Amino acid sequence: MDRPGPLTTLRREIESFARTVDLAHWCVALSGGADSLALTAAAAAVRPTTALVVDHGLQPESDAIAAAARERALDLGCVDATVCTVTVGTAGGPEAAARTARYAALDAARAGAAVLLGHTLDDQAETVLLGLGRGSGPRSIAGMRPWDPPWGRPLLGIRHDVTRAACAELGLEPWQDPHNDDARFTRVRLRREVLPLLEDVLGGGVAEALARTAAAVREDTDLLDAQARADGAALAAGEGLDADRLTALPGALRRRVIRGWLLAGGATGLTDKQIRGVDALLTAWRGQGGIAVGSTMPGHRLFAARRDGRLVLYAEPV
């Protein structure tokens, strides 16, 4: 039997994804690169699709590049296409700042629909490597989810060379983002230097192995998270969490309960160090003060503290 062509392969992946999440309409984040361009073409053939093009304003003539991507989306059968112009800040460095601005713009423009993203198996492998190198814990090593509402990633089982081949099959010339060749960015060096070296040393198949690792870790993480949600609900009677009962939980569950409780209370940008600092209020209690965490409340800092046998949250003006 002949192997399906790249475009057929993409459409089958997207059709499978559509059956899993049952979406009647969706948006696609389109940059004009090979991954998002191939995704847009295949998605528009499966469901009514609106393209969302984010203009970061970081390169000369970025508005013209965004306008061209919009026109291409309409040519590929999208029912609508919108350019979202953003201002990229500086928090967390250029990569993180651009990502934050992009996701905020997509979220604002999607009008309640899901947004498909062009992340491939190669991106998943890079994510796992970053998590391993930074010691970010199993949540990071678990990688990106195929469906993390409202974000859908139907191409996580597809290599980048398949999306390039699909564009060639369609006669499309993808836009080449110069940032994808800029060695100042960590992901670029992982893609161009680290992964090829690992493939050479280990005899190939590394990207696929990293993606399988992510899927396996994600299964375990999902199970622990479900148990932690149940435990957290049982410990949350009254204000805060019962310190003694929480301390009695195994560490892996206890820290997940703490994380979920902090997020529900308005924390943001949590780090493993912060979560373990709050955990120390239970396991190494010496009367220490509160632990500061990032807050969604403008003009305030959020703290977790131990008071009268319970973990509680309180806010102070900056």
Distances (CA, A) of 318 to 168, 232, 292, 297, 304: 54, 29, 12, 10, 16
For 85-107, letters b (16+ CB in 10 Å) and e give ebebeeeeebeebbeebbbebbe
User: Would the annotation count 222 as a binding residue?
Assistant: no
Nearest 5°: phi and psi at 120? Answer: -110, 180
> 297 to each of 88, 161, 265, 291, 303, how far by Cα in Å?
21, 43, 10, 16, 12
According to the annotation, is 63 in a ligand binding site?
no
**Residue 31, annotated ligand binder?**
yes
CA–CA dist 105, 83 (Å, integer): 10
Return the amino acid letter for 196. P
Q: 33: annotated binding-site residue?
A: yes
Q: Are strands 151-152 and 114-116 parallel, antiparallel or unpaired?
A: parallel
Residue 103 near residue 27 (C-beta atoms within 8 A): no
Return d(Cα 266, Cα 263) in angstroms, integer.
5
- 29 in Cβ contact with 116 (< 8 Å): yes
Whether the link from the prior residue into 317 is cis, omega within 30° of 0, is no
CA pseudo-torsion sign 17, 23, 25, 30 = negative
Task: Name the residue among 114, 155, 108, 111 with its Cα closest to residue 26.
Answer: 114
Side-chain-facing half-sphere of 274: CA atoms under 13 Å: 19
Torsions phi, psi for 291 (to 5 deg): -105, 120
Q: Which residues are annotated as a binding site?
A: 31-36
Q: Which residues are annotated as a binding site for ATP?
A: 31-36
